[in-house]
Structure 1
Amino acid sequence: MPATALFMIMLGIVFGTMTVITANHWLTAWLGLELNMISVLPMITKQKHPRSTEAATKYFLIQATASSIMLLSSTLNAWKTGTWEITQLNDKLSCILMISALTMKMGAAPLHFWLPEVMQGTTLNTALLITTWQKIAPITLLYMISNHSQMEFTLLIGTLSILIGGWGGINQTQLRKMMAYSSVAHLGWTMAVISIAPNTALLNIIIYMIISTPMFLLLMNAPTKTLQATTTIWSFSPTTAILLTLLLLSMAALPPLAGFTPKLLIMDKLILHKLAPTTTVLALSSLLSLVFYLRMTYLMGSTIPPTTTQSTTLWRLKPNHNQLTTMLTPLALFNITIMPALMM
């Protein structure tokens, strides 16, 4: 892709997100989301492959449908309340429609069906963009309307997302689809607490982005796209294997790593609001996600010498000596230090 075209695309993505963050009017927010969506489409189709074209078509149709529902919701609210301000979403039906549209844009269950297919049809660079940056604008809008959100509705979406994210990830062997279902599960924790403690929900999604960004960058650096090929990462780059293991355990929410911190805070907020049974269901459902995280960790660790590799060695690849793993080491260490820091 030419540098000028890439610069214009990235400028559109950043400007669209900034427009949504600073918006106070529903039409301005809708305009920012549309600019963001149009800018991402060339990134998805840059492979020039039928699979990427299919992914771009699915992404466009889903995002356009969500935008239509969003316009319908804001119009209904303006009709009944006489205002287009984002923070004045007082009508219950409009609020439910708006939450549904925003969860469809992010890929939360039960409107998640497009996310694994789109991520599988794109490069890891674009998959990183979809799972991190593209969630900033919808999460910001959900944060703005959190005081009008229906707690029962957001809890239902959160519970379904955690269940489907864990259950769907177990059945996958493609790493991009596994990361898509991991994104669905983490969005579930965010949605479960967004109407009760929006600041905690924001912390959860920020820590998820901080953890998933170096993970995607390391997967780009490693010669693997499937679960079986992860057994060759140690022979390719031991440092990459160690960092990936640490990041995977953090995403699995094992204490004392960073991924456990927002989950603990979310469960604390839910219990304080007398939702202990729901908290128990969410905690048990997260064990499904733990299964495939630990499976990836086991496969990477099972080939450490003197154990023999369990798959065909990628003999054409030379050991990696670039500086990416060194640059990402501080982010990996962040996964150890954030837990004690927040507990103080």
Structure 2
Amino acid sequence: MLLSFNSNKMFFLFMLFFSTLISITANSWLGCWIGLEINLLSFIPLISNNNNLLNSEASLKYFLTQSIASINFLFTIILSMFFMKNFFFNNIFSIMINSTLLMKMGSVPFHFWFPNIIEGLSWFNSFILMTWQKISPMILMSYYFNMNFLMIIMIFNVLIGAIGGFNQTSIRKLMAFSSINNLGWMISALMISENLWMLYFLLYSFLISIMCFLFYTLNIFYINQMFNFNINFPIKISIMINFLSLGGLPPFLGFFPKWMIINYLIFNKLYIISFIFIMMSLIMLIFYIRIIYSSFLFFSFKFKWFKIFIKNNFLIVINLSSFISLLGMIISTLFFF
């Protein structure tokens, strides 16, 4: 039974990878739509679980939202075939296609489903939803984007991603709003250069993978579980380093792509946008420091009875990755210049 489950899971993971390649390499919008549909149908079996009502509810919500976005995408493609020569309609169609792709990513103003669905997922599925599921819509959006529309969207992504994390006790919801915040940075990186977007996305995926694996290993889902977090000191240090790097605090590695985006914005005299981006990153750091504060500074003799010893070889890799994140900014800066 376990072997068949693992083989089924590997099959759907392969289909998820294959569908993304179909969307990226398609020569027509219809081929992109087919790739997105295969992606949807391969991700739903991964997140659905008959033994867990939260997973079943999340899979149903995900299916409904993605189906609505796919219908709108197909409807826009069909209409654009008849009105493509009209400049006014061409501008509207670009906004409509961008809106459907933003809905598939969980971007503002279509972000309401995103934190609720992540709340019902495991850490592995949350990692896929926050990283891999954004690749196809982002690349398709780079083919046909509306500059003015996306500038407004990226500002609201950064704002709502930072403000939405207030009064959240679930770490998964905090990571979801963090993903919405980083989506605003990714859209700005995509509008600047695809290479810059790829760099930002790879570093973001690297940091998110470390955090999701740590929380999965420690079986932590809520902030109040961090008060009983009395494990060995190196894991606490690695969580602190990776959270600060994810927030974009120098000299950590996560600051490097944000620094390049801010440089571009200031060079093009977009001072207000760069100011908003920097201020919202500081608010995101408040959320991360609140999680770090719970695990680091609270100490009681009562908690010493609940001492946790974790023997996992992957934790050595995690600590090494944290060390890379700490020194990566210095190395990347020297390499860049």
Equivalent residue runs for 1:238-317 within 5 Å: 238-303=233-298, 307-308=299-300, 315=306
Once residues 50 and 132 of structure 2 are traced to their aligned partners in structure 1, the CA distance between those partners, rounded to angstroms, is 20
Distance change (3 Å), C-alpha of 1:53 and 1:291: same
- Larger mean CA deviation between 6-15 and 176-185 belongs to 6-15
Partner-residue secondary structure (3-state), 1:203: helix
Alpha-carbon deviation of 1:97? 1.0
Distance change (3 Å), C-alpha of 1:314 and 1:119: farther
Pick from 211, 221, 235: which aligns with 2:207?
A: 211
Alpha-carbon deviation of 1:41? 0.9
Once residues 304 and 71 of structure 2 are traced to their aligned partners in structure 1, the CA distance between those partners, rounded to angstroms, is 49
For the 8 Å contact 2:186–2:197, the answer to whether it is kept is yes
Structure 2 length as normaliser, TM-score?
0.91
Once residues 129 and 261 of structure 1 are traced to their aligned partners in structure 2, the CA distance between those partners, rounded to angstroms, is 23
Pick from 50, 65, 68: which aligns with 2:53?
A: 50
Letter in 2 for 1:342: S
Pick from 13, 16, 19: which aligns with 2:19?
A: 16
Matched, 1:103 2:95: no
Distance change (3 Å), C-alpha of 1:19 and 1:259: same
Question: 2:73 matched to which residue of 1?
Answer: 70
How many equivalent pairs are there?
Answer: 328
Alpha-carbon deviation of 1:313? 7.2
Pick from 191, 210, 217: which aligns with 1:221?
A: 217
Equivalent residue runs for 1:31-180 within 5 Å: 31-46=34-49, 48-81=51-84, 91-145=90-144, 149-180=145-176
Alpha-carbon deviation of 1:75? 2.3
Distance change (3 Å), C-alpha of 1:40 and 1:312: farther
Once residues 342 and 241 of structure 1 are traced to their aligned partners in structure 2, the CA distance between those partners, rounded to angstroms, is 25
Letter in 2 for 1:295: R
For the 8 Å contact 2:98–2:146, the answer to whether it is kept is no
Deviation readout 1:113-158 (Å, 9 max, x if unpaired)? 111110111111111111111111112212333xxx2322111111
Distance change (3 Å), C-alpha of 1:217 and 1:31: same
Once residues 303 and 50 of structure 2 are traced to their aligned partners in structure 1, the CA distance between those partners, rounded to angstroms, is 27
Distance change (3 Å), C-alpha of 1:78 and 1:342: farther
Structure 1 length as normaliser, TM-score?
0.89
For the 8 Å contact 1:186–1:205, the answer to whether it is kept is no
Unaligned stretches of 5+ residues in structure 2: none
Alpha-carbon deviation of 1:336? 2.3
Alpha-carbon deviation of 1:253? 0.8
Question: 1:191 matched to which residue of 2?
Answer: 187
Unaligned stretches of 5+ residues in structure 1: 83-89
Once residues 53 and 313 of structure 1 are traced to their aligned partners in structure 2, the CA distance between those partners, rounded to angstroms, is 38
Alpha-carbon deviation of 1:318? 4.3
For the 8 Å contact 2:189–2:197, the answer to whether it is kept is yes
Once residues 192 and 320 of structure 1 are traced to their aligned partners in structure 2, the CA distance between those partners, rounded to angstroms, is 40
Question: 2:323 matched to which residue of 1?
Answer: 333
Q: Would you identify which runs of 4 or more consecutive aligned residues in structure 1 move more than 6 Å?
A: 311-314
Once residues 202 and 76 of structure 2 are traced to their aligned partners in structure 1, the CA distance between those partners, rounded to angstroms, is 27
For the 8 Å contact 2:189–2:200, the answer to whether it is kept is no
Partner-residue secondary structure (3-state), 1:116: helix
Distance change (3 Å), C-alpha of 1:314 and 1:324: farther
Distance change (3 Å), C-alpha of 1:201 and 1:4: closer
Deviation readout 1:4-44 (Å, 9 max, x if unpaired)? 31122112111111111222211111111111111111121
Once residues 338 and 80 of structure 1 are traced to their aligned partners in structure 2, the CA distance between those partners, rounded to angstroms, is 49
Percent sequence identity over aligned pairs? 30
Once residues 12 and 163 of structure 2 are traced to their aligned partners in structure 1, the CA distance between those partners, rounded to angstroms, is 35
Deviation readout 1:189-224 (Å, 9 max, x if unpaired)? 112343233432332222111110111001101132
Partner-residue secondary structure (3-state), 1:319: coil
Once residues 48 and 269 of structure 2 are traced to their aligned partners in structure 1, the CA distance between those partners, rounded to angstroms, is 47
